[in-house]
Amino acid sequence: MIEANIDITENPSQEFERVAVPESHLKGWKSFLGMYAGEHAAGTEFVIGPLFLTAGVSAFDLIVGLLLGNFMAVLSWRYLTAVVSVKERYTLYYKLEKICGKNLVTFYNLANGILFCFLAGSMITVSATAVGIPFDMPMPKLTDTMPNGLSWVVIVLAIGFVISIVAARGYNSVAKAANYMSPFIVLAFLACGLVALQQLNVHSFCDFWNIWGEGAEPFPGQIKYTFWHVVIWSWFCNAAMHVGMSDMSVFRFAKKASSGWTTAAGMYVGHYIAWIAAALLYAAYIQTPEAQSFLNNGEAPPVAPGPLAYNAIGVFGIITVIIAGWTTANPTIYRAGLAFQAIMPKVSTFWMTIVAGALATIAGLFPAFAMKLLGFVALYGFILAPIGAVIVFEYFFGNAFGIKKDYAFQTKSTFNIAVLLAWGLSFGIFYFISIKYDVFLSFLTLPAWLLCGVLYLVFSKYFLKGGRV
């Protein structure tokens, strides 16, 4: 393709937002290993691990459920996201524009960017709980939604400013930050887990298993998680990034699709080890008189990552939570900046990323995004994942089904009605089922994704003028 051979002087930012990444800028697997290890061994893991405990999971649910769910996530990245990415070499946002048309994709990019900003905001919240310890800042409670004081606001704004500047410098800066910091973060999670095991008087695997045992009733305000809740939630907590194809924006730089296996560093070092280590920290905290007083009053003890890590490993814990939140917020804000830049292509990615960072910082002021992270992550994955099915089904089944690739680009259309109908119906039907019958939302992410892909093929074949090959 002509676009793949564009001179990099035409794209001085070297982010290649609207062209295929040239071969001269492709990266080996090591660039992705550090990024995924750093991004997913993150400050938010200090929240997610304890939240599993508040949901009353059993030992089998947690240990085996996470093992299976994270494996499914790795397979999704390797055999869907990475495969399509190295073939197309486009960002998700430009690829969707080629399929959907400018007018329709603008709405998706806006929703995508905003949701990523909210997610990054929760990571800024996590870092703030660590920065605030030396200043004796009041920590947010599990039920808090609003900022709880001036010190909280100042600290969040300062962290958001630094994170935004790093993210705005582009993919290379994001990858370098993750590569430098990820070993430090992994070591800290291991240290936290080991200290928590000592605090819990664990001397054997049986003692370790009995921390969760057969499970318990969920804490006040939380829902009960079973084995399948853990499996499906851990598979689809990053649904927007793998089956939703957002990480096309990352893996378009990969030399080979096999770089997709590097996501295992994030899933098992980060999600698996870090979640369990964080759950151990919270299990130790629950035994304290302070936590028991909350439970006796019918309240869930607070989940503040900074104090949890500080109580385990001191100042090292504070530093870890700050850096862990930073390395995860960086690529998330970077993705959001690309989404906004796709809406306003004449504005540089740098400034669009600054805008994304500002929105994420504002979101970080509100603790609810972090304290309700399990539910929020399920929702944002459910909303964004189905649109990725449009790309996946076109790539794997488009020729066999006889539909035109990159319909909007080929026909110069600005609005692909087949995409809107497929996305709207799949989202609407299954969200209605979730609300009407109180079905756990993550259980419906895969059915919605599959339905969206199938409907897109059907609608493209029969409803689009000029849509057939």
User: CATH code at 248?
Assistant: 1.10.4160.10
Q: What are the tokens at 258?
A: 């096999």
pLDDT above 60 (res 373): yes
- Report the alpha-carbon distance of residue 274 to residue 426 in Å, rounded: 34
Q: For a pLDDT cut of 90, what percent of the chain falls above it?
A: 35
Residue 34 lies in a domain: yes
Residue 88 lies in a domain: yes
Look at the chain and report how many structural domains it folds into: 1
Residue 292 lies in a domain: yes
pLDDT above 50 (res 10): no
Looking at every residue in the chain, the average pLDDT score rounds to: 85
- Report the alpha-carbon distance of residue 225 to residue 272 in Å, rounded: 17
Write down the H helix ranges in 79-143: 82-88, 92-100, 102-131
* Segment 432-455 mean pLDDT: 95
Residue 21 lies in a domain: no
pLDDT per position as a tens digit, 228-268:
999 999 999 999 889 999 899 889 999 999 999 999 988 99
pLDDT above 90 (res 396): yes
Q: Which residue has the higher pLDDT, 461 or 70?
A: 70
pLDDT per position as a tens digit, 36-93:
876 777 767 888 888 888 889 999 999 999 999 999 999 999 999 999 999 999 988 8
Q: What are the tokens at 15?
A: 């982010």
pLDDT above 70 (res 108): yes
Taking each helix axis from N to C terminus, what angle separates 45-54 and 373-401, rounded to the nearest 10 degrees?
100
pLDDT band at 176 (very low <50, low <70, confident <90, very high): low
pLDDT above 70 (res 14): no
pLDDT above 60 (res 109): yes
Residue 460 lies in a domain: no
Residue 452 lies in a domain: no
Q: Which has the minimum average pLDDT: 98-102, 250-254, 293-297? A: 293-297
Range of the domain at 123: 29-385
CB 268 within 8 A of CB 77: no
Residue 5 lies in a domain: no
Q: How far is CA 191 from the centre of its chain?
A: 24
- The reported pLDDT for the residue numbered 467 is 55
pLDDT above 60 (res 11): no
**DSSP annotation of 234:** H
Q: Which has the minimum average pLDDT: 109-113, 199-203, 225-229, 383-387? A: 109-113
Residue 403 lies in a domain: no
User: pTM for this structure?
Assistant: 0.83
